Amino acid sequence: MAEDRGTPLVELNDISISFGGIKAVDHVSVDLYPGEVVGLLGHNGAGKSTLIKCLSGAYQKDSGEIRIRGQKVEINNPRDARAHNIETIYQTLALADNLDAASNLFLGREITTATGLVDDAAMEAETRKIMARLNPNFRKFSSPVSALSGGQRQSVAIARAVYFNAKILIMDEPTAALGPQETQMVAELIQELKRQGLGIFLIDHDVHQVKALCDRAAVMKNGKLVGVVNVDEVSTDDILAMIIAGKKPEHLAA
């Protein structure tokens, strides 16, 4: 499937990370093409989040290489990742609870006036614009995000990732804290971003959701990659077997 699509957007080649002698990620390779959603699956502690944090700059890999559009890059911190148009929606959302939505959305990338002071009014205006698109019911622009509901907080985190022209989007369990309606909203957003040509890594526990949203699924167990499969060619039972038993389905094993 991958051969005829040119250079991958992201290549994670032979990545390893250890924490105090435990191999959290053990020689894992995954790639991602423009307009593609790759699901990352596995038990808690399988190494999905750790692997992805190498790409978002939160952790540094011990060995292996990262290529963006074929170019080898070094990502040592979240600033480097942002410079490569990699945006991340963390499972914890990574919001500063004491600040309002606009301050969170622009955190680290504030709009400033000619005098170098932060332009709160301009940032709030931009926030109102993007929220009108993502979550039209959002009204609490001047409250700290601690006063928002789970879904509203999620939409702030998503707005932050989408606003800055991300090319590569990492979503770590974006629907874990959401109700059915909001989950549907996120699913629609993923479809839209995909059409715009973004590459998306989606970490999720829900196998059905991965089947519905992803093009390919990479399954990890105990830090190792079990396999990468096209979701159309496998059943949910096959994927579950990969997660639990750590074996690739037999009809694809050859």
Tokens of 234: 């496998």
If the CB atoms of residues 26 and 120 are measured against other proteins, the closer one turns out to be: 120
Interface residue with other proteins, options 108, 136, 251, 254 (CB under 8 A): 108
**C-alpha–C-alpha distance, residues 2 and 215, integer Å:** 11
Query: How many CB atoms lie under 10 A from the CB of residue 99?
Result: 15
Least separation in angstroms between CB 201 and other proteins: 16
**C-alpha–C-alpha distance, residues 78 and 74, integer Å:** 11
88 is a contact residue toward other proteins (CB under 8 A): yes
Residue from 159, 165, 166 nearest 131 by CA? 159
CA distances from 201 to 58, 75, 89, 155 (A): 16, 17, 10, 18
CB neighbour list of residue 20: distance below 8 Å, 6 or more residues apart: none
Residue from 85, 91, 94 nearest 168 by CA? 85
Residues numbered 146-185 forming contacts with other proteins, rule: CB under 8 A: 146-147
Least separation in angstroms between CB 117 and other proteins: 4
Binding footprint of other proteins, residue count (CB under 8 A): 34
If the CB atoms of residues 127 and 175 are measured against other proteins, the closer one turns out to be: 127
If the CB atoms of residues 56 and 135 are measured against other proteins, the closer one turns out to be: 56
**C-alpha–C-alpha distance, residues 74 and 80, integer Å:** 8
Interface residue with other proteins, options 48, 61, 82, 153 (CB under 8 A): 82
144 is a contact residue toward other proteins (CB under 8 A): yes
**Candidates 28-36, 95-103, 129-137, 178-186; binding stretch for other proteins (CB under 8 A):** 95-103
Residues that bind other proteins (CB under 8 A): 56, 58, 77-79, 82, 88, 90, 92-99, 103-104, 107-110, 112, 116-118, 120-122, 124-125, 144, 146-147
